[in-house]
Amino acid sequence: MRSKNSWVELVSSLLTVVAGLSVIAVAMFAGTGSRGAQPGVAALPGGPGEWRVLEGVSYENLTVFPVVTRQPAETSGYATLDEALASGEAIVTETGGEIIRRSRDGRPVPLPIQSGGAQVNRLALINRGKRPLVLLAGELVSGGKQDRVIAKDRIVPPGADPLPLDVFCVEHGRWTGASMQFNASKVIVHPSVREKAAVEQKQDEVWAAVRSGTTARTEGGIAGGAARPAITRETLDTVVVAEARTESYGKIYHGSRVGPSVEAFAEEVQKRFAKATAGLKGEHVIGVVVAYGGEVAWSDAFASNELFRAYWPKLLKSYVVEALARPKSQEHAALEAAREFLEPLRGRVSEESEPGVYRWRQTTEGRYAEIELESLAPKTLLLHWVKLHRTS
């Protein structure tokens, strides 16, 4: 029979074990994306370390929260679509033609692209460079028979055969062109259109979003101190009649009637953003969380500051177009709301992949959607992460 001291020692030992297990459990939980360990930090599975959200930069009805990390990845081994098209390392063309590819001794070798003629929702792409090519949903290529946007994030390895590329039309009405090939536009469509391409995957909804400006719903109409947006449906109708008769995205949003507002707005936000991020010590900006009025609506984040800087100018203009198309508001989203927006979703998951090249994953939960683009070689790396509050 145990003495009283023996029972005390046994209970004390058990309590010590339980306490140790609790510490281990807390540590494991903190490493799965919970914010309990450090407020404002998101550790996304497979991501480039911990991400921290800074105070937002506000102008008019737009607030942009910088997302920073101390552990950016090395991404110089990847090429963006704009730089590859500009250098000739990538070629995008209508289907039904041919691409001239150079052999090792410099001889031109014609490569036939799919027969059957040009198709609205399919282009052909070849990566002639030495680096994997990154494509983001919503990137605009101009030329061919009509302008198109990339349908999904993906990576195209170097040296691959001509790739059938899924796209959506954003120039309703034109089906002619002097050249079958496309050029870099340095444009990414604004969030309402990008959502319809990347998540809804419906051509008619893409066209509708281009013409309506924004697909975001304003509960109870324009209320709560909000004023009419700068870009209204009436404004777009006027622009289409006067300047963009084929409903060209570039002409609608960057022409003489709307373009100056976009440029001035973006320039002011960029000044404030640069000032807010100029004094960072040991941290690097790799993305943003975006809010319109009091609603946190969108986020783009990348594996490195290098990639972020490559996409930032056209991403900023896309956010500005969306802001101008939404009602003006004096409200501004809180920092805590932006932090919460980075929480990974736990809903329905769908995946696509090319073995040894990339994995695309989409998660939807309620009114939210999240898309991840992972590179699988030379190592697994989350290159791009986007989360959005769906407008429909």
Section 256-261 average pLDDT: 83
The answer to whether residue 122 scores a pLDDT higher than 60 is yes
Section 226-245 average pLDDT: 74
Section 127-141 average pLDDT: 95
Section 170-197 average pLDDT: 84
The answer to whether residue 3 scores a pLDDT higher than 80 is no
Please give the backbone phi and psi of residue 52, each rounded to the nearest 5 degrees, phi first: -120, 140
More confident residue, 267 or 255: 267
**318-362 residue pLDDT tens:** 999 999 989 888 899 999 999 999 999 999 999 999 999 999 999
Residue type for position 29:
F
pLDDT at residue number 198:
93
Q: In terms of Cα–Cα distance, which of 332, 329, 331, 333 is closest to 227? A: 329
Section 228-253 average pLDDT: 76
Centroid of chain to Cα 11:
55
d(Cα 24, Cα 288) in Å, to the nearest integer? 33
The answer to whether residue 275 scores a pLDDT higher than 90 is yes
d(Cα 54, Cα 49) in Å, to the nearest integer? 16
pLDDT at residue number 218:
55
List the beta bridge partners of residue 51. 42
The pLDDT-based confidence of 251 (bands split at 50, 70, 90) is confident
The pLDDT-based confidence of 380 (bands split at 50, 70, 90) is very high
Domain ranges of the chain: 41-218+225-389
pLDDT at residue number 43:
53
The answer to whether residue 95 scores a pLDDT higher than 90 is no
DSSP 231: S
Token pair of 391 as six digits: 């407008």
**12-63 residue pLDDT tens:** 554 454 444 443 343 333 333 333 345 456 655 444 458 999 999 999 999 9
Section 136-145 average pLDDT: 91
The answer to whether residue 196 scores a pLDDT higher than 80 is yes
Q: What is the mean pLDDT of the chain?
A: 82
Q: What are the percentages of helix, strand and coil residues in the chain, rounded to 5? A: 30, 30, 40
Q: Is 278 left (phi over 0), alpha (psi -120 to 50) or beta?
A: alpha
List the beta bridge partners of residue 285. 68
The answer to whether residue 155 scores a pLDDT higher than 70 is yes
Whether 348 and 296 have beta carbons less than 8 Å apart is answered as no
Q: In terms of Cα–Cα distance, which of 202, 236, 234 is closest to 392? A: 202
Global pTM reads: 0.82
pLDDT at residue number 107:
46
pLDDT at residue number 223:
42
DSSP 132: P
